[in-house]
Amino acid sequence: MAAEIERKYLVLDDSWRKNASIGSVFCQTYLMARKSRFVRIRIIDNARAFLAIKFRTSALRREEFEYEIPYLDALEMASHSTALVEKTRYEVDCCGYCWQIDVYNGPYEGLVIAEIELENESVRNPHPPWLGKEITGDPNYSNRAMAAATSMSRSANARVTPDAQIFGVNELV
């Protein structure tokens, strides 16, 4: 088991791209999601797959169990869920930290979020010039909430806006 301590921010502009790695395409779906725990399947670049089980223990901290699983098994498991989020992830080394920048596709196109993992909850992370408002803990920007909202809107073929109010989706997947 590993603890995951992270902060999330909106990204103001594309200036981070000059230091970014080549992006990896992530497709993730949620098999089970509740307010403080979830089970996720993540497929990376249509080649590798991971199963993650996470338990929130505080505002910034989650206990995380993550395992690489066979790609075909991931596809089969993912076929049982319509709660999906798609994004391209880049890594940016900045200010002594590795930032993960997620550029969302599909109904969240245009949304860009930066995440930073920290050693402990009291660490004050740097603020590069491209970093915007902190959204840590905001359920509107939770991948599982966005995936659930996408699932709900699929039948209506609607575009889900990143700042839309999402009510109670943590219990819907």
- Catalytic residue set: 30
**Which residues does 12 contact at the CB level (< 8 Å), separation at least 6?**
129, 130, 131, 132
CA distances from 104 to 23, 61, 163 (A): 12, 23, 13
What is the residue whose two structure tokens read 């098999």? 31
Tell me phi and psi for residue 54, to 5 degrees.
Answer: -130, 145
Name the DSSP letter for residue 71: H
134 C-beta neighbours (distance < 10 Å), count: 14
